[in-house]
Amino acid sequence: MIFIFNHTALIILKAASVDLEPGYVLALFFFIGLLVFRAYVQYQKELSQELGADVSDYELKDVHRIRQSADEILNTKNSYYARLSSEGKVKFQKRLQGVLANKTFYAKEGLKLTDEMTVLAASAFVQISFGLSRGILMEFDKIYIYPDLFFNKLLDRNLKGSTSPLGIIRFSWKHLEHGFARDDDGINLALHELAHAFKITVETDDSMDVGIFDALKDLQIIGGEVRSQVLKGKTEVLRKYAAVNDHEFFACAVEVFFENPEELKADQPKLFSALINVLEQDPSNRIDDYAAPEVRRKFNFKHEIAIKPDGHYSFMQWMMVIGLVIILVPIFMIKLHADSSPVPTLLFVITVLTLGVIRYYRKLVVSGYTSPGIFIVFLLLGWFPLIGGPALVMNFLIPVYSTTEYVAIKNADYIGDHEYEAIPIDADDAHYVIDGNVYGEIKKCNGHCLLEVRSHYGVFGLEVIDDYSVIQVSEKDSSYTPMQ
């Protein structure tokens, strides 16, 4: 085995020493490129945090143009904005720019799009998520604005607004404007549609804060009771339409929450505080930028996870170590037998340094820099795909023996970069990176789950996880629960 690798490496290194005499220059370019890329990623990250938005489609010139007029438009058209302090307005404007930069607005049926339309529609996005630490609803990026009611083929009737889980929100401009103009009748089309978008996001987007998910669940329980009051005519603070279903209830409650907070608080105090918990703002607190009294979230694992040892990366790390060892042997063999150019050695040192940084600088690993950017690093250097790659494939394909383990799981969380993690009850257990389906099943069984982990050890002795499945355990069944 080693002989084959040795031979392959020898040929590559020989070729490299002949042709890549300017290898020093290449290496230098590579490092400069890496630094520039790193700085660019950091810049994007900071920009996006500042705007409370993902700024991948940031069109600076348009946003600058609108910024001039947005303050004036909102001061006259959106009373929520008008009541903010000057610091609150600055925060609102920043987020508004992020929303404007990330949405595409389409004027339909002959309507001519104006700044007033885009700014007012975008302001609803900022308003509903103003209390949260960052703007959300990024999935909803297509906004269709119609002059008046518009026909929906699927429902076979005219609508004022609609929200599609595919990320499209439609508004009748006439009704959107009216919703903001009359700010105390408990009806606001834009906030209604965005409440739909918000609920859809929290329920389907696994990158959302778990705390919001739980707060929304609590609200739903309270909502069931309130809905029956609405049906029986026992409360009038919410309109009848709120009783239709869970989604309409939330949307109508959000409208009243923003437009008649005092009445809602007096009539339905439990619902009001549940809404504060979900949206982390209190619209009745008009002197203090709608600050919520306190954050009453039960838990939020996100921050905790960031500082836990990243055990679930060990497979990847082992791959790197083995890959390096496999590279190391032929290099020394060549060094013993041939006095070649220093370029291969330099490239090798660069490889080791780069991988070392990736391996040991945990922030890089935890924040998801490992893929696919790191693969590009490997590709650029050429070592890993050529030599380490086949070894890993062989390890994967040739099993030596298989195992099945059961781990008691207390919860699951999104850890970034489209990855989820199952959190074992026993803190000493390794952490498991799972897919969205497994994550959904763990969420369903409320902390009474067993994760079945099927894996095999390959020919190089590395563990390969084949599959996960979730087994629900009854609350009484403590045989899998470790001692406290």
Query: In the complex with Zn ion, which residue's Cβ is closer, 10 or 197?
Result: 197
Q: What does residue 417 show for φ and ψ, rounded to 5 degrees?
A: 55, 40
Distance between CA atoms of residues 191 and 26, nearest Å:
54
Distance between CA atoms of residues 78 and 368, nearest Å:
39
Query: In the complex with Zn ion, which residue's Cβ is closer, 145 or 251?
Result: 251
Closest residue to Zn ion using C-beta atoms: 251
Q: Which residues have C-beta within 8 Å of that of residue 287, sequence separation ≥ 6?
A: none
CB of 185 to Zn ion, least distance (A): 16
**Token pair 């893929």 in the structure block, residue:** 371
Side chain identity at 436, as an amino acid letter?
Answer: G
According to DSSP, the residues that pair with 150 across neighbouring strands are: 159
Query: In the complex with Zn ion, which residue's Cβ is closer, 218 or 248?
Result: 248
Q: What does residue 168 show for φ and ψ, rounded to 5 degrees?
A: -115, 130
Provide the sign of the torsion angle of the four alpha carbons 163, 51, 291, 188, taken in this order: negative
CB of 100 to Zn ion, least distance (A): 24
Query: In the complex with Zn ion, which residue's Cβ is closer, 17 or 127?
Result: 127
CB of 255 to Zn ion, least distance (A): 10
CB of 102 to Zn ion, least distance (A): 23
Distance between CA atoms of residues 271 and 234, nearest Å:
15
Joined tokens for residue 274:
């549940």
Query: In the complex with Zn ion, which residue's Cβ is closer, 248 or 405?
Result: 248
**With contact defined as beta carbons under 8 Å apart, do 262 and 184 qualify?**
no
Query: In the complex with Zn ion, which residue's Cβ is closer, 254 or 422?
Result: 254
Q: How many residues does the chain have?
A: 484
CB of 145 to Zn ion, least distance (A): 17
CB of 191 to Zn ion, least distance (A): 11
**With contact defined as beta carbons under 8 Å apart, do 189 and 161 qualify?**
yes
CB of 183 to Zn ion, least distance (A): 19
Query: Which parts of this chain interact with Zn ion (CB under 5 A)?
Result: 248, 251
CB of 251 to Zn ion, least distance (A): 5
Query: In the complex with Zn ion, which residue's Cβ is closer, 103 or 170?
Result: 170
Q: Which of these, 259, 126, 158, 139, lies nearest to 202 by C-alpha position?
A: 139
- For residue 37, CA distances in Å to 43, 55, 58, 181, 374 come to 10, 16, 18, 47, 12
Query: In the complex with Zn ion, which residue's Cβ is closer, 200 or 470?
Result: 200
**With contact defined as beta carbons under 8 Å apart, do 212 and 413 qualify?**
no
The burial class, CB within 10 Å (0-12 / 13-18 / 19+), for 305 is: middle
Distance between CA atoms of residues 160 and 143, nearest Å:
13
Query: In the complex with Zn ion, which residue's Cβ is closer, 42 or 204?
Result: 204
CB of 254 to Zn ion, least distance (A): 10
Q: What is the dihedral of CA 339, 341, 346, 348, to 10 degrees?
A: -60
